[in-house]
Structure 1
Amino acid sequence: MAAKPGSKSAFVLFDVIYEDGSRRSNRKVPADILGGLDGDEPARKVIQEQDNEIAKASGKPPLSIAQLLRVGGKKK
């Protein structure tokens, strides 16, 4: 995904499917941490950190991530 003109960093969007079957769409992850030997796996850590912050603010426990799907990517 290309960066918008004038922005300093590009983001990749992911849909997150949790173990309880719920889904959250278009979660942003910095593109510069993805790729290499780990592929999209670093996105899991970033999204989990985001979920922890959301859980802390809401007072609800974070959900466990079952699957990450890159928006516009091929499904496995």
Structure 2
Amino acid sequence: MARKPGTRAEFVLFDVFYEDGSQRSNRRVPSSVLGGLDGDEPARAVVEAQDQDIAEKSGMPAIPIKSLRRATK
């Protein structure tokens, strides 16, 4: 039996470039926080919060973000 389509959160994927030269691809940011006058700038706060959670769990310090770019498919 086929599943009923549920409400699905829409995400935008970003490539994140860090100050140490490393890169992480396809970081998910909810599309609800993007747009408006700020454009993609709110994505930085979301990714920084994700990085902070990862840093706390791993015991390693978070690396500062140099830039963000929407991922291309």
Fold-level similarity (TM above 0.5): yes
The offset of 1:8, in angstroms, is 2.5
Could you give the per-residue CA deviations for residues 16-57 of structure 1, whole angstroms, max 9, x where no partner exists? Answer: 000000000100000011001000000000000000000000
TM-score when normalising by structure 1: 0.85
Moved over 6 A (4+): none
Higher RCO (CA 8 Å, separation ≥ 6 residues): 2
The structure with the larger Rg is 2
SS of 1:45's equivalent in the other structure is helix
Tell me the C-alpha RMSD between the 2 structures.
1.4
In the other structure, the counterpart of 1:25 is: 25
Gapped runs of 5+ residues in structure 2?
none
TM-score when normalising by structure 2: 0.88
Query: What fraction of aligned residue pairs are identical, expressed as a percent?
Result: 59
Pairing 1:35–2:35 present: yes
Separation in 2, partners of 1:72, 1:39: 17
Gapped runs of 5+ residues in structure 1?
none
